Amino acid sequence: MKYSLLGVALCLSLVQPMAQAKPLDIKTESGKIRVTALAEGLENAWSLAFLPDGTMLVTEKPGRMRIVTPEGKLSEPLRGLPKVFNQGQAGLLDVVLAPDFATSKKIYFSYSEPDDKGKSSTAVSFATLKGGALENVTRIFSQQPKIDSGAHFGSRLVWKDDGTLFITLGDRYSEKDKAQILDNHQGKVVRINADGTVPQDNPFVKTSGALPEIWSYGHRNIQGAAINPLTKKLWTGEHGPQGGDELNIDEATKNYGWPVITYGENYGGGKIGEGTHKAGMEQPIYKWVPSIATTGFIFYTGDKFPQWKNNILLASLKEQTLVRLVLDGDKVVKEERLLKKELGQRLRSVVQGPDGLIYLVTDESNAKILQIAPQ
């Protein structure tokens, strides 16, 4: 078990006091913002969730979850996580609180789950948070089938207003054609109840040969998802191939086209599929060509940046930017890149804090939690 020994060694060396780096002031179209590193010493941070006491849960891709104080002090890794496959894009991924966290103390998290033959897929578990440990860890979803691939795991966890849970998944890269077939979970958005059972109003429950968890299909690798606060609809963002990152309004039964239609091409060039449009397949509502490597996003609803109300704030890995998208109904009418590589860090997730400020986590070997405030 060389991985776990290495993990322990890294964990011990990574516990550090608060970050000391100087804040960075950046000019935007609507005033200056100040970016402050709240914490560092994380490894490929993936997701962040605020707890009611003002501390934060943070996941690290190699398979650790910690609690971070507002001053940036990292806890030891929480005990009790399941075994996580950590290779390529695999690892510990998203974390969210249960809607009833105040009473249940339950959290939900997604991760790459290995089998004993070297294959893997995306899984979701819930657990009770108690002190420095996760208790009663219960797996409620396991993407089928497991694949011999270290790529395209998704995933985001988003609560629908009816208490069901959306899980966004990837096509697992090596078997992309399966995104068009409903007998598997590759390249799908799925919807489950909080206990892992299937909602009986899911769109393919009565479709012969279809897996009943499926909500929508024809996706490549969805690493961003959020509910639009005005329409209550699910919006998702997915990595395209070379070119063709997409933002979609993700609705039940719909086919989002991958790999039959795309605005991208193979890495190094070469056509994928049939073109950009096809009857019965949805068009993205916005796309990036060339790709920015779109990942986590939010709809901003706080009061600290009133000029950004209901805008999308979206993280980019490759372009190391925070994108602001202005919407008019279901249309994107403007894009501003709030950061222009000043940080030099790949951004993985965006969260709105309970204070209305904006928090980012970075995908770096010395990963940070960043806070954005009006200057």
Q: Which of 152, 185, 219, 239 is catalytic?
A: 152
Of 156, 168, 166, 170, nearest to 192 (Cα)?
166
Active site residue 185: no
- Distance separating alpha carbons of residues 53 and 51, to the nearest angstrom: 5
Give the residue at shortest CB distance from Ca ion: 257
C-beta of 316: minimal distance to Ca ion in Å?
A: 18
C-beta of 282: minimal distance to Ca ion in Å?
A: 7
369 exposed, middle or buried (CB, 10 Å; 0-12, 13-18, 19+)? Answer: buried
Place of tokens 């550090």: 16
End-to-end Cα distance, the chain: 48
Nearest to Ca ion of 257, 353 (CB atom): 257
Nearest to Ca ion of 54, 275 (CB atom): 275
- Distance separating alpha carbons of residues 368 and 19, to the nearest angstrom: 9
242: helix, strand or coil:
strand
Count of residues in contact with Ca ion, rule CB under 5 A: 2
Contact positions with Ca ion (CB under 5 A) in 246-265:
256-257
**Contact residues for 231 (Cβ-Cβ < 8 A; gap 6+):** 330
Tokens of 137: 């860890």
Phi, then psi, of 368 in degrees rounded to 5: -125, 160
C-beta of 87: minimal distance to Ca ion in Å?
A: 27
- Distance separating alpha carbons of residues 99 and 90, to the nearest angstrom: 27
Query: Which residues in 29-68 are b (16+ Cβ under 10 Å) and which e?
Result: eeeebebbbbbbbbbbbbbbbbbeeebbbbbbbbbbbbbb
Of 81, 76, 52, 53, nearest to 66 (Cα)?
76
Contact positions with Ca ion (CB under 5 A) in 154-183:
none
Cα dist. 370→23, 196, 250, 252 in Å?
Answer: 10, 33, 29, 35
217 binds Ca ion, rule: CB under 5 A: no
Nearest to Ca ion of 98, 190 (CB atom): 190
Nearest to Ca ion of 34, 278 (CB atom): 278
Nearest to Ca ion of 5, 279 (CB atom): 279
Nearest to Ca ion of 38, 214 (CB atom): 214
| Site for Ca ion, rule CB under 5 A | 256-257
* Catalytic residue numbers, as ranges: 152
